[in-house]
Amino acid sequence: MSPPPPPLGRSRKRDAQLFDPALCDTELVDVRAQFSQGRWARARSLLVGTGDDWDRRGHRVVVLAETPAATAWAREWLLAEPESADAATLLACAAVFTALRRKGSPEAAEEACRRAALLLPADPTPWLGLLLLSRAFGSEEEFSRHFDQVRARHREHHHAHHLMVAKLAERTPAAGHDPLHEVYDFAAWAAEESPADSPLAVLPVIAHAERYRVLAATHGHTFSSAAQHWSGRRARQVLRSAFDWWLEWEREDHPRNRVDLNFLAHAKLCEGRPAEAAALFHRIGSHATRAPWSYPDLDPHKAFLAARSAALGTA
């Protein structure tokens, strides 16, 4: 593993970049700025260049689709190029986020996603849009079907697996602390089914964080309940395996790499291993993610800064 960068500073500029969904994709950050101003030609080039790197395509489409003017500019692009699968997919995902903000119709968003899926059948991204939509508005059966459609096109789809884990973690909240809960089995299965270098190796850690989110919301958060959740045999096992995987593979090339590192750093602190968390914070840099620092019901900005300071000894 390459040596870590110098210790993080406290600059306001760095902290201002926290929680940017673009994460460390600097090309995407630049294109998003131009797209927000109506210059969609760079977005077109970006998505063409992304090709069938499905995790990266999904990440870039989602980030562009979340911008406030995405619907208007994607529609303009589609008018200029009516057969463009990229424009149709971006417009469909923009419709999904409009519906998630309760400013648009879920039915219209679903129809747009299905139209986009017909233009490029191999692309899991329109199905990712449907998965996000059914997470909020659909039944469990619809959600599962859409997940299967994503996975049929890309077996290791990172974002889709995270959404499935979050959904499964919400089942049987009254059951309390249960090391045999189905979310753990699903995460373990997905990790084992994937190649050795797949970031889904970290999915069992995501499962523990998402289940803790649900348990804390249902039963309340206490130090003893947190200790029980993170110090159990299964939790220790998956944390050790995930950290060892990171030391060996460190998939810096993956577009959602920082999502995994945030979850792993959070878990290492909960486990009581600040030195290991510190190594992860060095890699995270300014690319914090709201989840899991908002768990349970916390201000993610304050929680991330406090956790980083505690791990790096800068408090």
Buried b (16+ CB within 10 A) or exposed e, 253-287: ebbbbbbbbbbbbbbbbbbeebebbbbbbbbbbbb
For residue 158, give both structure tokens: 């990172």
pLDDT score at 224? 72
Confidence of residue 102 (pLDDT cuts 50, 70, 90): very high
Burial class (CB in 10 A: 0-12, 13-18, 19+), 123: buried
Angstrom distance (rounded) from CA 218 to CA 61: 34
Of 158, 183, 153, 185, nearest to 168 (Cα)? 183
The pLDDT > 70 percentage for the chain reads: 94
* Helical spans, DSSP H, in the chain: 12-16, 26-36, 41-50, 54-65, 70-80, 85-100, 106-119, 125-137, 140-153, 158-169, 182-193, 203-219, 223-231, 233-249, 257-271, 274-284, 290-293, 300-312
DSSP string over 126-186: HHHHHHHHHHHHS-HHHHHHHHHHHHHH-TT-HHHHHHHHHHHHTSSGGG-S-TT-HHHHH
For residue 245, give both structure tokens: 């995987």
What does the mean pLDDT of the chain come to? Answer: 92
For residue 67, give both structure tokens: 């911008």
pLDDT score at 76? 96
Confidence of residue 218 (pLDDT cuts 50, 70, 90): confident
pLDDT at residue 17 is higher than 80: no
Residue at 90: amino acid letter? L
- The DSSP secondary-structure symbol of 253 reads T
Region of 3 (left: φ > 0; alpha: ψ -120 to 50; beta: rest) is beta
8 A C-beta contact, residue 42 and residue 35: yes
Q: How far apart are the first and last CA of the chain?
A: 27
Going 259 to 262 to 267 to 273, the CA torsion angle's sign is positive
pLDDT score at 10? 45
For residue 12, give both structure tokens: 């306001």
What three-state secondary structure class fits 293? helix
Write the pLDDT tens digit of every residue in 52-62: 999 999 999 99
Angstrom distance (rounded) from CA 62 to CA 256: 12
Angstrom distance (rounded) from CA 189 to CA 203: 10
Confidence of residue 15 (pLDDT cuts 50, 70, 90): low
Burial class (CB in 10 A: 0-12, 13-18, 19+), 122: exposed
Angstrom distance (rounded) from CA 88 to CA 276: 43
Confidence of residue 14 (pLDDT cuts 50, 70, 90): low
pLDDT score at 3? 35
